[in-house]
């Protein structure tokens, strides 16, 4: 077989999951195979399904079994960041379609090659996520990384393609909305980056508000022949608060939307002008505003939109802090669902430590005496 390699660009799904062709396409390596790097690495280089991703050129994209989204390296992607926007557009569509995925950043895109058999490999990686995918494909990941290959989530490619097609119908009718900012808002919220979540959400809110404003208030103004009224309505004198109020008065926005938008707008102003970090509730309000505005815009566009696909990603019972600092109440018992474990390496100070070690007075901890009044 002659070797013919096609240049490709690769982005990897976050969170990690494998993408199967169908229910018979299984992945079940043993713990021993993973620890010894004797698992079926070839499968992690295999394409699972091609699909129409509505790329700048009429060429398909594809999903790889290892959880990769793969593009042909077409001329439009050369010397440009367009591929990042295209990846996030596809991911945002999948997200709207009900499959949770997170946005990527430029360094998440890798160079690679695909041969005529439909097998591919990473050739140049630039982020920890892409490094992980390259390493598991070459049986070169450390044990703490490769353990993720044990009983991972597996999703059918047809389910992802169906979600993409559903979300694409929604996004393609919203020309003013940046898909990268849209999905980025939800990703940042999940990662507890509240400032970034609010900023991305609010910009997206203003983008959709502009669309709704033009499709409703401005369009309505065209039907009323009053001197200079249309020019006034179409002017740039209307800020977001004015538009929200007008849309509410004209019943394009409900009370729930108005309430969420008000909380988000005040939080945005406090962040921009006072440098105040938004709370979880305020960032949540911004994301709920965004969801509700997409719902309004989709009704205008007469496109099916199920807000539950996005609502389910916003927990009502958030702990309001990063996981590392969350401290459960004394009467709360934390259940650890541990199936496999190994003994940790001993360090000085651990029970059972033997041998000499470097020691310096200025790094040695001592008990703090009782404070004096």
Same domain, 122 and 74: yes
Confidence of residue 319 (pLDDT cuts 50, 70, 90): low
How is residue 254 written in tokens?
């409900």
Supply the pLDDT for residue 75.
93
Angle at 60 between CA 58 and CA 65, to 5 degrees: 170
Same domain, 18 and 142: yes
Q: How would you classify the pairing of strands 154-156 and 18-20?
A: parallel
**pLDDT (tens digit, 9 = 90+) per residue, 234-268?**
666 778 998 999 999 999 999 999 999 999 999 99
> What is the pLDDT averaged over residues 284-310?
97
Tell whether the model's pLDDT for residue 179 goes beyond 80: yes
Q: Which domain holds residue 207?
A: 179-325
In a domain, 335, yes or no: no
Tell whether the model's pLDDT for residue 229 goes beyond 70: no
Q: How far apart are CA 261 and CA 308, in angstroms?
A: 19
pLDDT, greater one: 4 or 26: 26
Same domain, 299 and 189: yes
**pLDDT (tens digit, 9 = 90+) per residue, 14-38?**
999 999 999 999 999 999 999 999 9
Same domain, 93 and 17: yes
Same domain, 217 and 111: no
In a domain, 352, yes or no: no
The count of structural domains within the chain is: 2
Same domain, 319 and 297: yes
In a domain, 97, yes or no: yes
> What is the pLDDT averaged over residues 129-147?
96
Same domain, 146 and 218: no
What residue spans of 172-279 are helical by DSSP H?
A: 179-190, 194-213, 219-222, 229-233, 240-249, 255-274
Question: Left (φ > 0), alpha (ψ -120 to 50) or beta: where does 49 sit?
Answer: beta
Supply the pLDDT for residue 79.
85
| N-terminal to C-terminal alpha carbon distance within the chain | 84
In a domain, 340, yes or no: no
Confidence of residue 199 (pLDDT cuts 50, 70, 90): very high
Same domain, 17 and 87: yes
Which of 292, 310, 325 is where one domain is finished? 325
Which of 140, 171, 202 is where one domain is finished? 171
In a domain, 74, yes or no: yes
Tell whether the model's pLDDT for residue 148 goes beyond 80: yes
Confidence of residue 219 (pLDDT cuts 50, 70, 90): confident
Same domain, 118 and 65: yes
Same domain, 211 and 314: yes
> What is the pLDDT averaged over residues 97-118?
97
Q: How far apart are CA 72 and CA 118, in angstroms?
A: 12
Same domain, 157 and 281: no
**Of 288, 105, 307, 99, nearest to 204 (Cα)?**
288
Supply the pLDDT for residue 221.
64
Which of 291, 306, 325 is where one domain is finished? 325
Tell whether the model's pLDDT for residue 323 goes beyond 90: no
């Amino acid at each position: 077989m002659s070797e013919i390699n096609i240049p490709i660009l690769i982005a990897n799904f976050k969170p990690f999951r494998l993408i199967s062709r169908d229910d018979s396409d299984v992945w079940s390596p043993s713990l021993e195979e993973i620890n010894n790097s004797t698992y079926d690495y070839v499968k992690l280089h295999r394409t699972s399904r091609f699909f129409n991703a509505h790329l700048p050129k009429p060429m398909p994209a594809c999903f790889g079994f290892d959880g990769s989204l793969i593009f042909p390296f077409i001329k439009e992607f050369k010397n440009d960041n367009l591929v990042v926007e295209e990846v996030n557009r596809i991911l945002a569509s999948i997200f709207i379609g009900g499959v949770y995925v997170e946005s990527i950043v430029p360094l998440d895109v890798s160079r690679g090659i695909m041969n005529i058999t439909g097998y591919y490999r990473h050739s140049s990686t630039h982020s920890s996520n892409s490094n992980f995918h390259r390493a598991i494909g070459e049986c070169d990941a450390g044990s703490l990384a490769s353990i993720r290959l044990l009983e991972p989530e597996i999703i059918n490619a047809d389910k992802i393609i169906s979600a993409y097609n559903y979300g694409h119908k929604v996004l393609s009718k919203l020309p003013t909305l940046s898909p990268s900012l849209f999905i980025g808002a939800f990703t940042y919220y999940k990662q507890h980056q509240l400032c970034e979540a609010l900023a991305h959400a609010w910009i997206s809110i203003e983008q959709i508000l502009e669309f709704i404003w033009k499709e409703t208030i401005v369009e309505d103004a065209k039907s009323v022949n009053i001197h200079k009224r249309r020019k006034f309505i179409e002017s740039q004198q209307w800020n977001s608060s004015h538009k929200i109020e007008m849309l509410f008065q004209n019943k394009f926005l409900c009370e729930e939307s108005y309430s969420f938008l008000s909380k988000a707008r005040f939080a945005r102003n406090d962040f921009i002008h006072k440098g105040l970090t938004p709370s979880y509730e305020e960032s949540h309000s911004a994301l709920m505003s965004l969801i509700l505005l997409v719902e309004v815009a989709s009704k205008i566009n007469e496109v099916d939109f199920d807000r539950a696909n996005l609502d389910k990603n916003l927990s009502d019972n958030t702990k309001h802090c990063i996981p590392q600092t969350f401290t459960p109440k004394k009467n709360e018992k934390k259940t650890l669902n541990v199936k496999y474990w190994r003994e940790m390496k001993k360090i000085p100070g651990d029970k059972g430590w033997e041998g000499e070690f470097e020691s310096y007075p200025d790094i040695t901890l001592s008990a703090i005496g009782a404070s004096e009044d």
